[in-house]
């Protein structure tokens, strides 16, 4: 039988704020000393009172505005009661029935498939809560340590509707959300550092059936790859169970990234009762006002000041510069790369170039292939790259005007990427300008033909590849500066005589 998977995501992201959610402790996920950023409030001492960090509230509202969510006019915090050693108060301050944002959608705009990239994933809600502490299990296996640095850090939780159908779609969604959070400056959203965490709910049903199947939850997914693989694994596991006529157990499963399998963590008999009730120590939030009187935030103002959103950037890049769909995806994922690209284009356009659109594509190609290639190969960070967009644009201008060859361009790039030596000066000093005049090329061709009898004979016997060999020999003599088309033409002429 064919089965359809229905998947919903729950994504938590630590928000970037100076202080924690309800106290003045620093919100610093880089802190190495355990229990340094703690105080009586976030340690849950009796008699202490929380105070709302409005920066965190604003961060979540910005996300909601970017996703087209309905911002809740009157919101509030609630207590979610449960016991766990990483939760010093015995409850977590969260939001139950009045989340900051409801609805909204995010397109799978990062997908490399144009059709798929238009698919919209509906969002159920986005709310704000506090993070818990961290349990550390030393290798001796005899004790457990608790670090409360993370306790009380503002945490955003976003829940999607169950409208995702594959691991791939889930990955695009999570990746797209990560870029949005970074773009808005509201979270560093680094999954490896636990600043962004994904949980998936997944159920299978026979294709065409309306009723949803039994839901399985998978936790501990700390990379995009894990999100995709865990879902694909579950789809396979659950369909095999259903195929045998057996029932899916409603449970929470973990992900083993080494074995690439999910494993049972705990069986859920029924929904846990958290006994939510309104947080008595915090006032309700009047977030904004339709009538322009009162309210903590001016939504119009916040909306107007949102930066250009990643998907807007993507379509602007494609529209303005005619760069390929897949390339636009690469550029929008790296703010530095985007700035470098647009700056280089700006410098090039200040020169009197004959074909700017061709120049833009050259910039794009050499940036994506060569600069990113060198960055990867030599393990460089953007800080190591000293090449300026201006110097790069100068170099590309030589290539655009056929003054240097692509071989020379690549060689120079490799040399100046970490030094920013002037491309102009290097080309002049070393005489690397492309030689196209037959008066300069012919003496070299003569020499090469005279010293390569075998290749010449091969060519005359009809072996076409021999010509490339001869062009290559001339290029070597010219230190890569010969015009290859011109060389080939002249060699053919010479040998047909």
Check binding of 42 to Zn ion (CB under 5 A).
yes
Window of 10-18, 37-45, 338-346, 371-379 that interacts with Zn ion by CB under 5 A: 37-45
Check binding of 44 to Zn ion (CB under 5 A).
no
Q: Can you tell me the distance from the alpha carbon of 97 to that of 99, in angstroms, rounded to the nearest whole number? A: 6
Nearer Cβ to Zn ion (7/42): 42
Instruction: Tell me which residue of 335, 300, 269, 311 sits closest to 121, measured CA to CA.
Output: 311
CB of 37 to Zn ion, least distance (A): 7
Distances (CA, A) of 378 to 373, 385, 387: 8, 11, 15
Query: Contact, 197 vs 178, CB < 8 A?
Result: no
Window of 23-31, 192-200, 232-240, 282-290 that interacts with Zn ion by CB under 5 A: 23-31
Q: Can you tell me the distance from the alpha carbon of 230 to that of 239, in angstroms, rounded to the nearest whole number? A: 14
Q: Can you tell me the distance from the alpha carbon of 295 to that of 73, in angstroms, rounded to the nearest whole number? A: 8
Nearer Cβ to Zn ion (88/482): 88
Nearer Cβ to Zn ion (44/194): 44
Q: Whole-angstrom distance between the N-terminal and C-terminal Cα of the chain?
A: 72
DSSP state of 309: P
Q: Per the structure block, which two tokens stand in for 435?
A: 């030689």
CB of 194 to Zn ion, least distance (A): 19
To which residue do tokens 């090039």 refer? 348
CB of 134 to Zn ion, least distance (A): 15
Check binding of 151 to Zn ion (CB under 5 A).
no
Check binding of 52 to Zn ion (CB under 5 A).
no
Q: Specify which residues 263 forms β-bridges with.
A: 254
To which residue do tokens 């500066």 refer? 481
Residue ranges in 105-124 that form contacts with Zn ion under rule CB under 5 A = none
CB of 303 to Zn ion, least distance (A): 32
Contacts of 141 (CB under 8 A, 6+ apart): none
CB of 130 to Zn ion, least distance (A): 10
Helix (H, G, I), strand (E, B) or coil at 455: helix
Query: Contact, 101 vs 70, CB < 8 A?
Result: yes
Size of the site for Zn ion (CB under 5 A): 5
Check binding of 39 to Zn ion (CB under 5 A).
yes
Nearer Cβ to Zn ion (133/482): 133
Angle at 162 between CA 161 and CA 165, to 5 degrees: 130
Burial letters for 216-233: b for 16+ Cβ neighbours within 10 Å, e otherwise? Answer: bbbbbbbebebbbbbbbb
CB of 43 to Zn ion, least distance (A): 7
To which residue do tokens 């899916």 refer? 248
DSSP state of 150: T
Nearer Cβ to Zn ion (36/492): 36
Nearer Cβ to Zn ion (25/475): 25
Check binding of 23 to Zn ion (CB under 5 A).
yes
Nearer Cβ to Zn ion (44/484): 44
To which residue do tokens 């494993």 refer? 263
Q: What is the dihedral of CA 209, 213, 219, 224, to 10 degrees?
A: -10
Residue ranges in 257-286 that form contacts with Zn ion under rule CB under 5 A = none
Window of 3-11, 34-42, 166-174, 271-279 that interacts with Zn ion by CB under 5 A: 34-42
Residue ranges in 368-407 that form contacts with Zn ion under rule CB under 5 A = none
Nearer Cβ to Zn ion (89/197): 89
Check binding of 21 to Zn ion (CB under 5 A).
no
Check binding of 25 to Zn ion (CB under 5 A).
yes
CB of 147 to Zn ion, least distance (A): 13
Check binding of 423 to Zn ion (CB under 5 A).
no
CB of 270 to Zn ion, least distance (A): 35
Q: Can you tell me the distance from the alpha carbon of 439 to that of 441, in angstroms, rounded to the nearest whole number? A: 6
Q: Can you tell me the distance from the alpha carbon of 35 to that of 26, in angstroms, rounded to the nearest whole number? A: 11
Nearer Cβ to Zn ion (48/477): 48
Report the interface residues with Zn ion, using CB under 5 A. Answer: 23, 25, 39, 41-42
């Amino acid at each position: 039988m064919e089965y359809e998977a229905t998947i919903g995501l729950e994504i938590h992201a630590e928000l970037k704020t100076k202080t924690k959610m309800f106290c003045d402790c620093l919100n610093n996920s880089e802190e190495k000393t355990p229990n340094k950023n703690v105080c009586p409030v976030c340690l849950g001492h009796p008699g202490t009172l929380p105070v709302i960090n409005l920066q965190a509230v604003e961060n979540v509202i910005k996300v909601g505005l970017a996703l087209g969510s309905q911002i809740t006019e009157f919101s509030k915090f609630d207590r979610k009661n449960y016991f766990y050693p990483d939760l010093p108060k015995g409850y977590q301050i969260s939001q139950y029935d009045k989340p900051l944002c409801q609805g909204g959608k995010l397109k799978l705009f990062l997908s490399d498939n144009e059709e798929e990239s238009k698919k919209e994933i509906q969002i159920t809600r986005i709310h704000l809560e506090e993070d818990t502490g961290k349990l550390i299990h030393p290798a001796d296996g005899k004790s457990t340590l608790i670090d409360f640095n993370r306790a009380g850090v503002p945490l955003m939780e976003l829940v999607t509707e169950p409208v995702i159908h594959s691991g791939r779609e889930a990955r695009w969604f999570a990746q797209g959300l990560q870029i949005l959070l970074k773009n808005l400056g509201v979270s560093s959203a680094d999954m490896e550092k636990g600043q962004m965490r994904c949980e998936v709910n997944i159920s299978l049903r026979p294709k065409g059936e309306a009723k949803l199947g039994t839901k399985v939850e998978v936790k501990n997914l700390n990379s995009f790859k894990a999100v995709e693989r865990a879902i694909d694994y579950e789809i396979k596991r659950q369909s095999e169970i259903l195929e045998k006529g057996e029932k899916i157990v409603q449970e929470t499963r973990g992900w083993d990234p080494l074995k690439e399998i999910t494993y049972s963590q705990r069986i859920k008999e029924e929904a846990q009762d958290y006994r939510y009730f309104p947080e008595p120590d915090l006032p309700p939030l009047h977030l904004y006002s339709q009538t322009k009187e009162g309210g903590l935030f001016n939504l119009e103002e916040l909306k107007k000041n949102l930066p250009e959103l990643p998907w807007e950037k993507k379509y602007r890049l494609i529209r303005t510069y005619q760069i390929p769909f897949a390339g636009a995806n690469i550029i929008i994922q790296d703010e530095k790369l985007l700035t470098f690209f647009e700056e280089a284009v700006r410098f090039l356009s200040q020169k009197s170039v004959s074909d700017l659109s061709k120049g833009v594509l050259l910039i794009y190609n050499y940036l994506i292939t060569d600069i990113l290639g060198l960055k990867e190969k030599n393990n460089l960070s953007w800080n190591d790259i000293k090449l300026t967009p201006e110097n790069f644009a100068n170099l590309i201008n030589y290539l655009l005007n056929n003054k240097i060859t692509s071989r020379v361009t690549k060689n120079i790039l490799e040399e100046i990427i970490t030094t920013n030596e002037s491309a102009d000066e290097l080309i002049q000093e070393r005489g690397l300008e492309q030689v196209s005049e037959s008066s300069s090329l012919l003496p070299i061709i003569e020499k090469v033909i005279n010293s390569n009898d075998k290749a010449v004979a091969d060519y005359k016997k009809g072996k076409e590849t021999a010509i490339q060999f001869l062009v290559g020999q001339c290029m070597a003599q010219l230190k890569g500066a010969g015009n290859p088309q011109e060389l080939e033409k002249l060699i053919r002429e010479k040998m047909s005589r």
